[in-house]
Structure 1
Amino acid sequence: MTLYKLLRKGRIIIAIAVLLLTFILFIDIYEWLPDKTFDTILYVQFVPSFLHFLVVFSLATAGGFVFVLLLTLLTGRLYCSAICPLGIMQDVITRISRWRSKKKRFFKYKKPHPVTRYTFLGIMVLAVAFGAGWIVTWLDPYSIAARVFTYLFKPLAVWFNNGILAPVLQNFEIYSVYHKNLMVAHILPAILAFAVIAAIGYFAWKRGRLFCNTICPVGTLLGEVSRFSFLKVQFDQDTCTRCADCAAVCKSECIDLRNYTVDHTRCVSCFNCLDICPESALSLRPVKKAQGFENVRPSTEEVNNTATRQNTRRKLLITGLALLTGSRIYALKKEKLPENQKNLIKNKKDHPVAPPGAGNIKRFNDICTGCSLCVAACPTGVLQPALTEYGLNGFMQPHMDYTTYFCNYDCNKCGEVCPTGAILPLPLEEKQITQMGKAVFVKQNCVVYTDETVCGACSEHCPTKAVQMVPYKNGLRIPEVDQSICIGCGACEHPCPVPEPFKAIYVNGNAVQQKADKPQEGAKQKVDSEEDFPF
């Protein structure tokens, strides 16, 4: 077996391992993977690592992006072929497409699209510099793949577990696998994730790494770094017979046989061309002088055509975003009420509730890439992707959705798994006094007031006893909130029997998270997050 065959096989093995580990990370419905596994797997994901470094300024904790840059300086864009989960997914789609195709020459050289590439790179750089996290959300390849795993594959895994695996194993009296609930607040994130991956998948099916070399800003950035790589794929013109076998397997479509050149800014270091060349006319070796734009610069007419297409795409993007932010385009909640509830007061939340450890909402929106790893890891499902809660800046970033469930008092997993530092890891003792928001009681909405009936679901589930039942009238008791010890976990809001958005008790989020006073000893109570009926 030749050296290049070993390189190609090794790259494939690493890519499969990375894809499987990342995939399992997001669909681990039984939480079998230890928390440290998250850091190990995600350490070298470029954008999350860089954003995490901006938070902690520690290369030991968040220096994975430096490793990627050094690797690129050595061998080119190997990150795109062996580490990036979205790139590996595209390779899988391309491989299936090639198997099904009858073409002998699946790929051929195509000219680059520099205007489009550098436009998206510029947008990404400005987004990171000015804290426009919502833009990073849609351009970071890791986050795109992560949302696909969370909103498409995880529901399939839960369905398979509940419908097939658990029933079969329980017939053999194996109860380590059991029914799991899937908390899904909205279908829109799944629709968007499917639309994005379908578009990228179509590009991969037809043109291999077209997305990576046209839109992906990480690919463009690493492509520029690749200009200075120590090892590059190069031609031996005296040996090459121009059989085109190399170009036929180049998924980046960057091998120009006419000029015996390789566009190293688009090459993803897959080593396919090295392995297949029958004459060994291609080799991976050092170069004294990196090639520039001279062999890949498009004509003026091509640049103008590309710019026109880009302007059209921008207009479509702006139109789509305007539709997404329309106040009544997507009905989030049905507000139809019976006659006896027409006088209820609508809940007024000044801020959404950000996850514990977010610090403040602005900082959180600036850093979070919406990868949804915390959503996938949340054991109660209270973390859900935001639609309009944060506004446009926080679209698809996680927020505490108490209609789905409430935050487990004894859980701090979201901070442990966050790859960017948007949710800082908090020791459990500190998390239990982190005030994400304050509970607000609306007496006019409470069934004790409106129906003169017994309740108390909010008080029964409050872990800090910030909600207490006090005497009201006719032997009834009504809630009273001590906001000084309230942490905003939503254990009161979720079980309230009054429908949204007229809850008798709800959590108003803090723009900047505070520290709550510690409850008195003996006041805390354990809340069973697995309970089927909250009241």
Structure 2
Amino acid sequence: MKRRLIQLVSFLLFLLLFFLAAYPLQQAVPVDLFLRLNPLLAVTVMLASRAIIAGMLWSGLLLVSALIAGRVFCGYICPLGSLIDLADALFWKPRRSFSPKTLTFLQMLRKGKFYILIFTLVSALFGVTTVYFFDPIALLTRALTFIFYPFVLIVINVFLDLFRPVAEALDWFSLARLSFIQHTYYMSAITLLLFAGILVAGYVQQRFWCRNVCPLGALLGLIGRFGLIQRRVSDACIDCGKCQHSCPTSAIPENPCDTLSQECIQCRVCQQVCPVKAISFPLQAAERRPQTASVNLSRRGFLTAIGVGAASSFVMGIHPSKKLLQANLIRPPGTVPEALFLDRCIRCGECMKACTTNTLQPSLLESGLEGLWTPRLEMRYAPCEQRCNVCGQVCPTGAIRALDLEERQHAKIGTAVLYRDRCLVWEQDKLCLICDEQCPYDAIEFRIIEGQRRPFVLEDRCNGCGVCENKCPVQGQAAIVVTPMAELRLAEGSYIDASKRLGYEFSEARKEVEQFFPDGTAPSSPESLPEKLPPGFAAPDQTEQLPPGFTQ
């Protein structure tokens, strides 16, 4: 019961931190704590990016725990392990007996996680991050983002709609108008199928994922061989076999006095079922530890894992249309240069979940196979909120830098390009000022061309926020589209200084207002406007401004 209680508390903490990864961000506890504590993510990302990431050094605590009690993280703390235990208990009756051939196959299969660990480390050494395919914390965070979180928002919004008449009757106007932006994501179906496969595998074998696939468990198990706390069996053992049948990871071989320490998750189920109390888990010095059995890897499998890991650097980086697909690939503000970004990004989906407008979406092949599940901005769906910098604050690896709002404003993510053949003003001579009115940086300027006022994009004022593309009234593809042209991405240093050197001017004040009103004060109401306005200037928007993430 104690283990189940610890698992429950740990899983609830994981969920709490997951939901706290939102605007406005609460900084009391790092919302990416579980990701930062992950030594597998830390090692692979640092190898791939050839840099020390300070935020990931917390993972040393987990390595210390493995030196003390082996895979105790897998048995008590890991949220995916807890979810797998729950699924196994609710849906699958663990099979207690296998045919000799099946048992031999399953015993061979559990070597897979060690080969996967070798593959991920070698591929990282060659500069390609593949750990996101297998890491349990990144997998679970991504699944919660794309599957669970949208469902929760549906439930909350439905409840608010049902409660709205009551709130209006009680004059609770803030609650009556409250509504959350419904998040939806591309690749949700693919993510659901992969995650469901992890849970369904429990039908074949209890904790199938933890036994045979999880590379984090393999890493902690290798270190756990030297742990101070080991399973010990006394001479009172009567060889009844109950411990072998009850072990959720098959860590007890044919001789019940032996232990596969790489597989043992310190759950102590064997100790609980032992009828003669012959099993204990004492803290003991190295010279007094019992002999433990080991998993022997074949030379062929070891070399194959190394070869596949080395080859992944070529396979993942090659895509025949990669350069073409990158033409409309917009990364979040503060993203480090692309090559370094692909090395550091662990595809956990934390930034996409925290995005207040839901414009951040997972990539499929927009940057080739290497960019699978990496975040990109879908401007037609929603713009990038200029008062929000949460995506960088929740990124555990520094793939998106944590910038303050002023620095974030100068992190130019692209430039809007106006397509005249789709623009209502250029193509149909219609009066449309929406892109100019909506642009927060006055990057749209109207000029007289052949007697007609035509819109132009001022590239030195556009920071690629995408408001114009999102608000463009043209159906289908917008007439004005943000492209990564002239994007500003720095691995270090100040975006403000870089913007000044490049001549960018990201001021929220409108140029026309400054020219027409020398004292710099704009009219506060439509009645106070002068009789003649400068070209392209519209009356101030009097609609009520709501915080990011809320709609009227």
State the shift of 1:138 in Å: 0.8
Q: CA deviation at 1:401?
A: 1.2
Match of 1:214 in 2: 212
Residue of structure 2 in register with 1:498 after alignment: 474
SS in 1 for 2:370: helix
Q: Which residue of 2 aligns with 1:136?
A: 131
Q: Which residue of 2 aligns with 1:179?
A: 179
Distance 2:291 2:161 in 1: 61
Aligned to 2:510: 523
Which amino acid is 1:78 matched to?
V
TM-score w.r.t. the length of structure 2 is 0.77
Q: Who is 2:523 aligned against?
A: none
SS of residue in 2 equivalent to 1:435: coil
Q: Which moved more, 1:366-375 or 1:489-498?
A: 489-498
C-alpha deviation, 1:459, in angstroms: 1.7
Q: Which runs of 5+ in 1 are unaligned?
A: 1-7, 328-346
Q: Is residue 239 of structure 2 the alignment partner of residue 229 of structure 1?
A: no
Query: SS state of the match for residue 274, structure 1?
Result: helix
When structure 1 is superposed on structure 2, of 242-251 and 495-504 the one drifting more is: 495-504
Aligned to 2:253: 256
Q: 1:255 Cα deviation (Å)?
A: 1.1
User: Percent same amino acid among aligned pairs?
Assistant: 25
Change (3 A) 1:355 1:92: same
Residue of structure 2 in register with 1:353 after alignment:
330
Question: 5+ residue gaps in structure 2?
Answer: 490-494, 512-539
Conserved? CA contact 1:406–1:489, under 8 Å: yes
Which of 467, 482, 487 pairs up with 2:463?
487
Please state if 1:126 is matched with 2:102: no
Contact map agreement 1:43 1:64 (CA 8 A) in 2? yes
The count of aligned residue pairs is: 486
Structure 1 match to 2:366 = 389
- Does 1:46 find its partner at 2:39? yes
CA distance in 1, matches of 2:419, 2:437: 17
- In structure 1, what is the equivalent of residue 9 of structure 2? 17
Q: Secondary structure at the match of 2:180?
A: coil
**Which amino acid letter does the alignment assign opposite residue 443 of structure 1?**
R
- Which range moves more in the overlay, 75-84 or 421-430? 75-84
User: Which range moved further: 138-147 or 267-276?
Assistant: 267-276
The within-5 A match list for 1:89-100 is: 89-97=83-91
Structure 1, residues 211-265: CA drift from partner, whole Å, max 9, x if none?
A: 22322211111111111111111211x2112233322331111112435211010
Residue 242 of structure 1 pairs with residue 216 of structure 2? no
Specify the alignment match of 1:331 in structure 2. none
Report the 3-state secondary structure (helix = DSSP H, G, I; strand = E; otherwise coil) of the residue aligned with 1:359: coil
Deviation at 1:292, TM superposition (A): 7.6
Task: Give the structure-1-normalised TM-score.
Answer: 0.79
Alpha-carbon distance, 1:67 to partner:
0.4
Distance in 2, matches of 1:473 and 1:530, equals 43
- The 1:84–1:518 alpha-carbon spacing in structure 2 relative to 1, beyond 3 Å, is farther
Cα distance in 2, alignment partners of residues 131 and 510 from structure 1? 26
Corresponding position: 1:70 with 2:64: yes
| 359-368 or 513-522, larger mean C-alpha shift | 513-522
Measured against aligned partners, the alpha-carbon deviations of 1:124-178 in whole angstroms (never above 9, x if no partner) come to 1023223323x22212211110111011111210111122x21344344265484
Q: CA RMSD in A?
A: 3.8
Whichever residue aligns with residue 23 of structure 1, its letter is: L
Distance 1:422 1:351, change over 3 A: same
Tell me whether 1:117 sits opposite 2:113 in the alignment: yes
Q: Using the alignment, how far apart are the partners of 1:412 and 1:509 within structure 2?
A: 22
Contact 2:180 2:550 in 1 (8 A): no
- Cα deviation for residue 193 of structure 1 reads 1.4
Structure 2 SS opposite 1:212: helix
| Equivalent residue letter for 1:83 | I
SS of equivalent to 1:203: helix
C-alpha distance in 2 between matches for 1:70 and 1:78: 11
Matched, 1:452 2:445: no
Corresponding residue for 1:191? 189
Relative to structure 1, the CA distance from residue 420 to residue 36 in structure 2 (aligned partners, 3 Å threshold; closer, same or farther) is: farther
Give the CA deviation at 1:293.
7.9
Whether the 8 Å CA contact 1:184–1:404 is kept in 2: the answer is no
Alignment deviations for residues 177-227 of structure 1 (CA, whole Å, 9 cap, x no partner): 8432223253xx211211111211122343222222322211111111111
Greater Cα shift, 216-225 or 274-283: 274-283
1:4 aligned residue: none
Change (3 A) 1:78 1:29: closer
Distance in 1 separating the partners of 2:394 and 2:64 = 25
Contact 1:26 1:154 (8 Å CA) reproduced? no
The 2-side partners of 1:417 and 1:113 are apart by 36
Q: Which residue of 1 aligns with 2:353?
A: 376
For 1:127, the aligned partner's letter is S
Structure 1: distance between partners of 2:136 and 2:21: 23
Q: Which deviates more, 406-415 or 267-276?
A: 267-276
| Superposed displacement of residue 433, structure 1 | 0.7
Question: Could you tell me which of 271, 276, 279 is aligned with 1:274?
Answer: 271
SS at match of 1:63: helix
In structure 1, the residue matched to 2:417 is 440
Q: Does residue 74 of structure 2 align to residue 80 of structure 1?
A: yes
Q: In 1, distance between residues paired with 2:506 and 2:25?
A: 33
For the residues of structure 2 that align with 1:425 and 1:371, how far apart are their CA atoms? 17
Give the Cα–Cα distance (whole angstroms) in 1 for the partners of residues 190 and 272 of structure 2: 38
Q: Distance in 2 between matches of 1:520 and 1:259?
A: 72
Tell me: CA distance 1:499–1:127, structure 2 relative to 1, closer, same or farther (3 Å).
Answer: farther
SS at the partner of 2:84?
Answer: helix
Alpha-carbon separation, structure 2, partners of 1:13 and 1:22: 14
- Matched to 1:69, the amino acid is L
Query: CA offset at residue 73 of structure 1?
Result: 0.3
Q: Is the contact made by 1:386 and 1:399 (CA closer than 8 Å) also made in structure 2?
A: yes
1:277–1:30 CA distance, 2 compared to 1 (3 A): same
Separation in structure 1 between the aligned mates of residue 436 and residue 76 of structure 2, nearest angstrom: 52
Q: Distance in 1 between matches of 2:14 and 2:82?
A: 11
Which of structures 1 and 2 has the bigger CA Rg?
Answer: 2
Residue 115 (structure 1) shift: 4.8
Equivalent position amino acid for 1:199 in 2: G
Q: Distance in 2 between matches of 1:486 and 1:57?
A: 34
Deviations 1:360-393 (A, max 9, x none): 1111111101110111110000111011222111
Contact 1:27–1:149 at 8 Å: present in 2 too?
A: no
Looking at structure 2, the residues matched to 282 and 518 of structure 1 have their Cα atoms a distance apart, in angstroms, of: 71
Residues 36 and 112 (structure 1), Cα distance of their counterparts in 2 relative to 1, 3 Å cut: farther
Residues of 1 paired with 2:82 and 2:220: CA distance? 16
- Displacement, 1:102? 9.5
Aligned to 2:518: none
Question: Contact 2:22/2:354 (CA < 8 Å) preserved in 1?
Answer: no
